[in-house]
Every structure is written in structure tokens, then in C-alpha cells.
Structure 1
Amino acid sequence: MPQVLDAAADPGRSPEFAGDAWAALHAGFRWQVPPDFSLAEACCGRWARETPDAPAVIFEGESGCSATYTYGQLQRAANRLSNALVRRGVQRGDRVALVLPQRFETAVAHIALHQLGAVAVPLSLLFGPEALQFRLQDSGAVLAIADGTVLPALRGLRESCPSLRELLVVGEGAASAEPGAAAESAWMGALQAEDARFTALATHAEAAAVLIYTSGTTGPPKGALIPQRALIGNLSGFVASQNWFGFDPFDAGRRSAAVFWSPADWAWTGGLMDALLPTLYFGRPIVASQGRFSPQRAFELMQRHGVTHTFLFPTALKAMMKAVPEPRRHYRLQLQAVMSAGEAVGDAVFRWCEQALGVTVNEMFGQTEINYVVGNCSRLWPARPGSMGRAYPGHRVAVIDEAGKTCPPGVPGDVAVHRRDVRGDPDPVFFLGYWKRDDATAAKFTGDPADSWCRTGDTAVMDADGYLWYQGRSDDVFKSAGYRIGPSEIENCLVKHPAVANAAVVPKPDAERGALVKAFVVLAPGHAGDAALIEALQSLVKGQLAPYEYPKEIEFIEALPMTTTGKVQRGVLRQLEAQRAGRAAG
């Protein structure tokens, strides 16, 4: 496997990088993208040959049962599955849906598909029939590998998904299908019938690897087609966000101890590209855990498996902070690095991680189309509380205005990533485009197609030192009485109050001001929402932020609407307020 990251020196050990190494890292960094690159070879094949007995996946079920699978076992199972898929007519470029949770078989499926050049279409177990139907139809998936729990939903979609020829079922539930319907096969039986040897097809770095559908927070879901090379583009950010401990590309084969875990669903970019694949790329073990997230279970799991590195959504960290304020009094933790993304972390959670976990949380920013492009590495440059961080090495990031011009420091605009890095070399992190949506792909970019900015749709300001400060999705930012309101800062302020578990800020239509600042608040256990608390929260925001930012109205709510990737769906709350205003006016 060729080296795919290159820098002037090893930043983890060179004294010249003491303090703030950010500028030096960028100056010495070069992408190394080979013409042929395979996720299967990079994440499994080479390790199966070099260290076949090294642990790859540590599985823990809801009942507490656990099993450890090695890289050799992962490769042999992937070989059997590749043979089984070829037998079923799956060819290079075919889309295969994976409706699977975190489990060994999910990792096997990804390796097997990339070995034969097929395209994985990961789908969440949380999707209902309508969401599954749209994605199966739109992708033209020819086969689905699915957990037995979703089999009834998939059976009901057979007639509406004519391209879907067969279901390969993991766990119990597979049965013979009625004539004319998609066939069903049990995973175990299908693999046992195949040879454990398979000759992987050569794969170009530009070849499609994964088709991931966006969460739909800004419109109907679009399929982002991710190439094999995109993992290379993720690596500098992954290594930096993990503080260069345990995932060191300069260790020349030295296998430092590292165990990774994240509750992020492997069906999403956050779980697949930020956790599963990069962990396997470095030949380290990842914990696959099933079951609902809870703060106590998270701490227990990290203690039990000696987790050293993790990715936790801000919503998870907030819940952990409220439920277990002093975790190290109750759990033996070995954490070396915590990365967080999806929403703004905020300085309250930032300080708790430092004091309670003993780790400076590295905030990261990216999206399905261009992932892992901005963030922090507290070991190599100062992490500023509340900031998204700086551009990771190899990525050229700016805040641009509507005309595509770079905004001066302190002026808000759209976070954008350039197709070419500061040296003029292509950035490998970019997606290939939206599946069957050339119009949407073109709209994502500003400027000449070969030399253009890709807009993220997220608003931020950049300071003079290159740090980005998140304000919200472009469609989340609103104006009240002429003032520009970014919800993230207000939400972070509200969460500092011990009675607040989570909060979301949206505009409430108002004839006089255009919109009022309204907050939806989820209470922490043991607290009651009353007039006194409303007044206290309003005073808190008034005292820490600008007077025009305090929420004129606060509504207590049992739970915030969330996407399956852990992001608050402020659009749902905005629509609710618009409907209420319409009824009041009528």
C-alpha cells in the first residue's frame, strides 16, 4: 500500500512543531493519490496478509454477548461474500443496498463489495418504508443485504422496486420467496457455500465506492456518489482529530495501542467515513455496538473495551454531561482523543470534556459530499472553545459571499472548499456528484468546474488566524428586527444552565420585527419548566450575549426533532411556528 499522506516531518515527534504547528503542517503537506486505490485492499487486504491475527471488529450485542473478529477472519468472510455476490450476478458498478447496524457483517459487506467494484448503498435501520423505497428506487439497487428486523418492510417494497432481485438476510428471518418476487437467502448459508479465496478486481481511485444519501435537512435526499479516493481525503483530518495518537501515518509499522468506538450509525458518513473505514485503514480494532445510546451504557462500553479514541455527537456529549457530571469517579477510562461533529459543541461541553474526561474535544466539520475538511487537533494547534477549528492539512477552505468572493475576517458567509489545494493539486476528498442530479451537482459549485469552490450551505465567520466560527445552516440563520441571528450561539448559552439538556432556536413570525427569537428547550432530569426558569434562561442569554439575541419566547418540549445523524431539525420547528402563525392570522 503506497503512502497516501506526506509531510515535511513527523509532527507528533518533532520539536519544531511545539505550540502551533498548523501553518507548518500545511506548508509541508502533499497528497499522494495513486492511480489505482481500493478501499478493500487499504482497509483489510494488506492487514490480512501482514497481521492476520490482529483484532479488527469487536462486536457487542444488546444482550451483552461479545465476539472479536480478526483481519484474517474479516478477509475470509469478505472473500466468501464476494463469491456469493458474483454468483448472484452482481457486477462492477452495480448498487447493493446495506440495511445493517453496527456489526461484523457490515464491515464484511463493505470489503466484499469494494473487492468486486460494486457500489455500496448504506441505509439506516431507522428508515421507514417510504424512505427505503425512495432510496432503493433512486439508486436502482440490484440486491439488498439486510438485517432480519427490516425484512418485513423490504418484502412490502418488492413490487415498487423492480430492480431489486434478491435479499440477503443477516440473522433470522430469511425464507423462500413466492414466485415472481425477489429471492431471499440467509447470510450464513450463502457464505458457507462459497470458497474463502477471491481475486480482487483492480480498482481505479476515481471509481465509485459508496452512494450515501444526504439527510434531507435542506430538501429531498440526494445521493452523493463517493469515490474510492475520498477516504484518502479524509485521512489528514481523521489523524489530526485523533491527536496523532494511535493513528500515526509516520509510525513505520509500529502498531501503537488504539481502540476506536463511536455510536454513529455506519450507514452514514459520520459512522462509515469518520469511524469504520479510517480505523480499518490503520489496522486498528473498532467496537461495533448494537442498541440504543445511553450515557451510562456509553461509559460502560468505553471502560469494558478500553476505548482510546471516539467520535461523539454534541447531543451525545450533552446527554453524558448532564447524566454523569463526574465520569472518572465512576468509570476507568482510557480516552486519548474525542472528536465531535454534526452540530456546534459549544464552550460548556468543551470545558466539561477537559475537566471531566481529561481530554480536549476536537471539533470537526464536514459533510457527505466533502467530509473531514475543518477541525481541531489540540495536540498540534490550540483548540479554541466554540470554534469549528481550522482547515485540515491538504484542504483549501474559505468563507465566501454570494458572488464567490472571499469574505474578510469576521464577516459571515458560506463555508466553501476548493477543488484544488494550496499547491494546485486536486483535493481527493471531493464526491463525484449527485446521483442522476447533474443540476444539483452544478449548483453545489461556484466558478469554473475544474477550478471552483464547493459550497457547504453552512454559515460561519473566519478570524484572522484561520479559525472558523459556526453560525448555523444558511437556512437556519434569520433576522429579527434587522439583526442577524445565528441559533448555535444562543443554544450553546442555554445549555450552560443546569436545567437544560438541549435546546433549539428558530424564528417565530412577528408582524413588527419580522421574527422573534424563540427557543425550544428540553429539560434535564429533575427539573420543571415554569415561569421562573423562563426568566432565568432569558436573563442568562441577555447577560452573556447581545440583548437582541435573548429568546422572547421559550417552549419546553419533551424531545427535539433530530435526523438519524444526530442533527437538530430546526426546519421542522420553523415550519411548526409558521403553521401556528398562519392559524392565528386566519
Structure 2
Amino acid sequence: MDGSQARDNWAAMHAGFRWAVPAHFNMAQACNRRWSEAPDAGTRVAVIAHGAPEGRRVLTHADLRRQADALSHALAALGVRRGERVAIVLPQRFETAVAYMAVLQMGAVAMPLSILFGPEALEYRLRNSDSVVAICDASAAAALAEVRPQCPALRCVVGVDGAPGTDADWEALLAPHRDPFALVDTRADEGAVLIYTSGTTGPPKGALIPHQALIGNLPGFICSQNWFGFPPTAGEGAVPTAGTARSAGLQNTSVFWSPADWAWTGGLMDALLPALYFGRPIVAFNGRFSPELAFTLMQAHGVTHSFLFPTALKAMMKAFPEPRRQFRLRLQGLMSAGEAVGDAVFHWCREQLGVTVNEMFGQTEINYVVGNCAMNGDTEGGVGWPARPGSMGRPYPGHRVAVIDEEGRECPPGVPGDVAVNRYDVHGQPDPIFFLGYWRNEGATAGKYTGDWCRTGDLALRDEAGYLWYQGRADDVFKAAGYRIGPSEIENCLVKHPAVANAAVVPKPDRERGALVKAYVVLAPDAAARRSAAPAGFEADLVAQLQAHVKGRLAPYEYPKEIEFIEQLPMTTTGKVQRRILRLQEEERARGRA
């Protein structure tokens, strides 16, 4: 049975779903501590390290608890208190999972930072958050050492694997602590994670995520991952809970993997934490993605469920049109997000991977709210609904999502508007998915809402069946190769170069990545004069200098792949850059090339 013929259980699932959010809840308790107290804690695997040497390949829940308890004690000895921010600047590895559990169980706030961040990006986030401790390995040690003098609140930098220039060694720090750590009884609506998200005006904003947001993620995770190995017996629209996870965990053989960085919402809230919540192993890999690596890894570890960006799926499709001729795959569920998957990839996943890819939509502030639950045509038990290629999907159970106009009124079918999520579900219950607000930015938090509607800033239209169809961004943030790009931070970085007077960053349509980062640059007078009189090759050299300038200060994926020099930027009468004009110009050029 294909997706178009599958039974549609969407309305029944919404009608039967009810939130069950306790007053007190802690992510670490749900993701590790309860599993560590089970009889099989010593053999139940939490994390598998792909390519690791013998003796370092698996981290059990007992290991995870023991190391997390030691780190919590060590952080407490360093003076870390409830509510204080601890920066975690680590790739996918055992210590990353340990750090999250340790920080969360002591009531502190985990602040994920990508190892791809350059000094400037790190400094802003560390200073703005007043982070008191940072944990890193060699991949970020040099950048942290460079910005350390500008971060007065940062009392200690902990180095993993002997990372140079740090204050304390991970192993030495944990060694003296062998006693269990007493869980801090956090409120469900207490801050747990601070993730910075890019914006178009001003610097990045820190979204404070509560512990209960993990519960809010679960319906979408379960639906998009084809019930994640649990029997689809939710005739009344329920999703597996902590109780069913514990009781069914021994029979569940799911193994999860995603190349998504655990420092991002997609890697943390859509992969690492949900997998640990259900007591199933997640594969960690710290290295460059390639199609061959993806298939080899999935074969080696029997991966059953995954989150893969459309860019990754496109590369895998081109490299291996018929992957099951070369690899033994066990995929049962596949989610994709970040940009549109497209018809070709959608059909390749169904025909060659044996799964219907479930597209998903969300953002850091309100994650995992819309998507599909195709269940590969299997609708036994009254769950799932057909996937429509090209559609964002429908609201997941527990979330009331609508397309609204500027006044907050719901748009009729076929009329574009802003995708928004209501604070209350269809039954009038509070939705736990919401962020608590932007860190030290009450104005931006208030501007996110129209009454009880939280606006995403993404435009879509809704059809008669309730499916959403993406129309574009309401602001200037865009996705490039799955990464969320905020023009402001890149523009600010470019302007700091002595040759640049002003800059505007827009997406340039690209068949492979969805979009490339392109910068329009107005040169400073002396640089403009040198360009006019310079010999051939000057402009190419200047472009390379500006690209290296951004690469060295922000993340590598943020540097402009293309730079165009212009005399002046299109501006409004109030002095704001009209990026929309430049974006439309790039779209028109793309149509001309096509």
C-alpha cells in the first residue's frame, strides 16, 4: 500500500491525544537515571561510537550515569549552581552525552555550541549567556582560549582528551568523585537548554528551552519515526510514554543515527535526547559526512531509524541509486527537515530505501510541530496519515497549528499566511513544546506572539485536508544545505573587514543545496579605488580574503560562497537594507540560468 492509498487517521489521533505533563520533570532523569536503575543498566547501550577502538565502542546507561554523577559533583565543586549556564562545545562523542546529563540533573542550563563556531561567534554567546564553565575537546580549545579574556563570567574551561590551553582535565576532574549525585527536582517549566538561533536584525538570540519541551517533542518524534519500534497500537491516538518505553524497551531493537550535530536543535532534541528517553542506542560519529560513510555506518550498526537532511539524501541518492545492491539496510523510519525533500528523493527513499521519508517542520523555539506519519503504508492500530510529496505535513497530535494573517486571524484554505502554534492544543490543554523566551530580550519574546499564537516567521498555505505547503520566509533567515543562516551575523562580520563599507547576505538558489550564501558588498572608498585601478586578479584575491575573514570568525558553512561587489545596497527610507530585492534578483537570475 503506498502513501496515497493509506488510511487517514490524523483526525482520530488528534481527538484521542491528551498531554500528561507532571509538575516536576527533569530531562536527565527521563533520559538516563531511570534506565540506570533498571536491572539491565550494565548492558543497555546508550551510545555507540562508530569507528572507536575496542573498549571504547559502547557507553551503557550504567556508564553514562556513573560519569554524569561524577561530572555533576565536579561542576558543583567548581561553584556551578542551579540555573547557571554551562557551555558544551563538543562533537558527537560519549563525553557530550555525559555532559548533557550532568548539567541537566543538577538543575543548571546546558548551552550547546557547535565546534564549527569561530572565536567571534563563541565570544558573543559566552558573554551574552554569562556561561560559567565551558567543556571542549581539541576541536574548539584554541578558539575558546582566544576569547577567554573577553568572557569574565567564564570561570573554568574543562578539556577532554587533554585539550590544550584548558584549566582542568576531564579525567582528573571526574576521578575523585564516586558517589551518586542527588537529582535536583526541577520544575517541568524550568529552563534546561539555551540554544542561540540566528536572526535578521541584531545579534543571535538565545532561546531558553524548558525540561518539559522534551515531552512536547515526543509526538512528532514518534510519528515521524514510524513509531520508533513500538507496536502501532495507539487506536486512540496516544504515543508511547515513559511507562511504555520501560515496559516495551526490552523488545524494542531500534538503533538511531543522524549526522545532525548534537549542538543543534535537530541533533539534540530530534535525535540524542529522544533516543535516550526511549532507552535505545544512538550512534555517535565525529567525522566528515559522505554517502558511503552513511550507508556503511547504517549497515555496521543495524540502524533502524534516522534523521537525514535533504542535502544528505540527495547526495546519497546520486552516489548510490540502488543502495540495497551493496548494503544490508534495516531502516524502518526516516525523518527529514531543513528544506523541501522534493519528489525525486521522496520516491527514491520509498523505492530504494524501503521507507517513506516523513518531512518535518519546526524551529528551536517551538520544535517538531508539523510533519508526516506515513508509517510506510502500515496503518494497523489506527495510526498514521498519508504523506504528500512537497508538503510540510500536518500538525502532530498535541499541537494546534494554523496559518494566520497579520492580525492573528486564521487564513482560509489556499491563502498564504504565517505558520503559528497556539499555546493550547485542540482540547484547551497547555502545549509543553514552547520555549520560555529569548535570553535577556523581552522585546523579541513579546514580538514572537500575537495573542496565544507563536509565529514561526515561515509562510505557508493550508489545503482543505489540513496539509501545509511552504511558501517562504517571512523574514530574511534562510536554509543553506540544511543550516539555518541569519544574514545579520555574517554581514556584521564582513563589515569589520577594512575593505568593506556595507554588506547584505541573501540566499542564491542552488539545485544541490537548496541555497548558497551570497554576499553583496559595498567597498570602502580606498578599497574601491584600488579595485578600479588594480590589475587582473585583484578582485578574485579580495573575494578570497573576505571569505577567509568570515570563515575564521564564524562557522564554515556561514561564509559567502559567492560575493558580488555593488556601488550601493537597496535601502528603505528609514535606512534598512532591502534584502528582499536582492533575494528576488537572485531568484530571477536562477530562472534565467534554468
**Coarse TM-score class (shorter-chain normalised):** 0.7 to 0.9
Q: In 2 relative to 1, CA 502–124 (structure 1 residues): closer, same or farther, beyond 3 Å?
A: closer
* Matched residue SS, 2:368: coil
Which residue is equivalent to 1:526?
none
Are 1:314 and 1:341, in contact at CA under 8 Å, matched by a contact in 2? yes
The one-letter code sitting in structure 2 at the alignment partner of 1:306 is: G
Does 1:387 find its partner at 2:375? Answer: no
Which residue is equivalent to 1:70?
60
Are 1:336 and 1:359, in contact at CA under 8 Å, matched by a contact in 2? yes
Which one of 281, 284, 304 corresponds to residue 285 of structure 1? Answer: 281
Which residue is equivalent to 2:152?
162
Quote how far apart the aligned CAs of 1:411 are: 0.9
Quote how far apart the aligned CAs of 1:320 are: 1.0
Distance of 2:469 and 2:364 partners within structure 1: 20
Q: In 2 relative to 1, CA 504–87 (structure 1 residues): closer, same or farther, beyond 3 Å?
A: closer
Which one of 190, 193, 205 corresponds to residue 207 of structure 1? Answer: 190
Which one of 402, 420, 435 corresponds to residue 431 of structure 1? Answer: 435
Are 1:62 and 1:290, in contact at CA under 8 Å, matched by a contact in 2? no
Distance of 1:415 and 1:148 partners within structure 2: 41
Does 1:101 find its partner at 2:91? Answer: yes
Are 2:339 and 2:514, in contact at CA under 8 Å, matched by a contact in 1? no
Quote how far apart the aligned CAs of 1:423 are: 1.1
Does 1:44 find its partner at 2:55? Answer: no
Which one of 345, 351, 358 corresponds to residue 354 of structure 2? Answer: 358
Quote how far apart the aligned CAs of 1:171 are: 1.2
Are 1:143 and 1:166, in contact at CA under 8 Å, matched by a contact in 2? yes
Quote how far apart the aligned CAs of 1:196 are: 4.0
Distance of 1:34 and 1:579 partners within structure 2: 59
Distance of 1:466 and 1:233 partners within structure 2: 21
Which residue is equivalent to 1:315?
311
Are 1:471 and 1:477, in contact at CA under 8 Å, matched by a contact in 2? no
Which residue is equivalent to 1:184?
167
The one-letter code sitting in structure 2 at the alignment partner of 1:377 is: C
Which residue is equivalent to 1:402?
406
| Stretch moving more, 183-192 or 369-378 | 183-192
Quote how far apart the aligned CAs of 1:355 are: 1.3
Q: In 2 relative to 1, CA 574–148 (structure 1 residues): closer, same or farther, beyond 3 Å?
A: closer
Does 1:92 find its partner at 2:75? Answer: no
Q: Which has the higher contact order (CA 8 A, sep 6+)?
A: 2
Counting only pairs closer than 5 Å after superposition, residues 261-300 of structure 1 correspond to structure 2 as 261-300=257-296
Distance of 1:64 and 1:580 partners within structure 2: 59
Q: In 2 relative to 1, CA 462–477 (structure 1 residues): closer, same or farther, beyond 3 Å?
A: farther
1:132-189 superposed Cα distances (whole Å, 9 cap, x missing partner): 00000000000001112221211111210010000111112246xxxxxxx7111011
Which residue is equivalent to 2:512?
501
Which one of 215, 226, 236 corresponds to residue 243 of structure 1? Answer: 226
Distance of 1:61 and 1:218 partners within structure 2: 42
Distance of 1:27 and 1:115 partners within structure 2: 34
Quote how far apart the aligned CAs of 1:566 are: 12
Are 2:91 and 2:286, in contact at CA under 8 Å, matched by a contact in 1? yes
Q: In 2 relative to 1, CA 43–477 (structure 1 residues): closer, same or farther, beyond 3 Å?
A: closer
Are 2:200 and 2:477, in contact at CA under 8 Å, matched by a contact in 1? no
Which one of 430, 441, 444 corresponds to residue 448 of structure 2? Answer: 444
Q: In 2 relative to 1, CA 271–477 (structure 1 residues): closer, same or farther, beyond 3 Å?
A: closer
Which residue is equivalent to 1:468?
468
Distance of 2:477 and 2:175 partners within structure 1: 54
Distance of 1:415 and 1:383 partners within structure 2: 19
Are 2:402 and 2:420, in contact at CA under 8 Å, matched by a contact in 1? yes
Are 1:169 and 1:184, in contact at CA under 8 Å, matched by a contact in 2? yes
Distance of 1:290 and 1:348 partners within structure 2: 29
Q: In 2 relative to 1, CA 572–439 (structure 1 residues): closer, same or farther, beyond 3 Å?
A: farther
Which residue is equivalent to 1:341?
337
Which residue is equivalent to 1:79?
69
The one-letter code sitting in structure 2 at the alignment partner of 1:198 is: F
* Matched residue SS, 2:222: helix
Which residue is equivalent to 2:181?
198
Distance of 2:201 and 2:359 partners within structure 1: 23
Which residue is equivalent to 1:518?
none
* Matched residue SS, 1:325: coil
The one-letter code sitting in structure 1 at the alignment partner of 2:91 is: P
Q: In 2 relative to 1, CA 142–305 (structure 1 residues): closer, same or farther, beyond 3 Å?
A: same
Q: In 2 relative to 1, CA 18–503 (structure 1 residues): closer, same or farther, beyond 3 Å?
A: closer
Distance of 2:186 and 2:17 partners within structure 1: 26
1:93-152 superposed Cα distances (whole Å, 9 cap, x missing partner): 110000000011111111111111000000000000000000000000000011122212
Quote how far apart the aligned CAs of 1:200 are: 1.0
Q: In 2 relative to 1, CA 95–389 (structure 1 residues): closer, same or farther, beyond 3 Å?
A: same
Which one of 354, 365, 370 corresponds to residue 366 of structure 2? Answer: 370
Quote how far apart the aligned CAs of 1:445 are: 0.4
Counting only pairs closer than 5 Å after superposition, residues 22-33 of structure 1 correspond to structure 2 as 22-33=10-21
Q: In 2 relative to 1, CA 128–235 (structure 1 residues): closer, same or farther, beyond 3 Å?
A: same
Distance of 1:61 and 1:128 partners within structure 2: 27
Quote how far apart the aligned CAs of 1:294 are: 0.8
Which residue is equivalent to 2:425?
421
Which residue is equivalent to 1:329?
325
Distance of 1:122 and 1:64 partners within structure 2: 29
Are 2:46 and 2:60, in contact at CA under 8 Å, matched by a contact in 1? yes
Distance of 1:128 and 1:242 partners within structure 2: 34
Quote how far apart the aligned CAs of 1:323 are: 1.5
1:517-569 superposed Cα distances (whole Å, 9 cap, x missing partner): xxxxxxxxxxxxxxxxxxxxxxxxxxxxxxxxxxxxxxxxx9xx99x999997
Does 1:254 find its partner at 2:284? Answer: no
Q: TM-score, normalised by structure 1?
A: 0.78
Distance of 2:352 and 2:55 partners within structure 1: 29
1:63-110 superposed Cα distances (whole Å, 9 cap, x missing partner): 899511111110011000011111111110110000000011111111
Which residue is equivalent to 2:504?
none
Does 1:111 find its partner at 2:101? Answer: yes
* Matched residue SS, 1:151: helix
Q: In 2 relative to 1, CA 574–439 (structure 1 residues): closer, same or farther, beyond 3 Å?
A: farther
Are 2:295 and 2:327, in contact at CA under 8 Å, matched by a contact in 1? yes
Query: Unpaired runs of 5+ in structure 1?
Result: 1-16, 176-182, 479-493, 510-557
Q: In 2 relative to 1, CA 581–82 (structure 1 residues): closer, same or farther, beyond 3 Å?
A: closer
Are 2:47 and 2:281, in contact at CA under 8 Å, matched by a contact in 1? yes
* Matched residue SS, 2:221: helix
Which residue is equivalent to 1:148?
138
Distance of 1:566 and 1:396 partners within structure 2: 35
Are 1:215 and 1:565, in contact at CA under 8 Å, matched by a contact in 2? no
* Matched residue SS, 1:159: helix
Distance of 2:308 and 2:109 partners within structure 1: 27
Quote how far apart the aligned CAs of 1:501 are: 3.2
Q: In 2 relative to 1, CA 67–472 (structure 1 residues): closer, same or farther, beyond 3 Å?
A: same
The one-letter code sitting in structure 1 at the alignment partner of 2:134 is: A
What percent of counterpart residues are identical?
A: 61
Query: Unpaired runs of 5+ in structure 2?
Result: 232-239, 376-383, 479-508, 521-546, 571-594
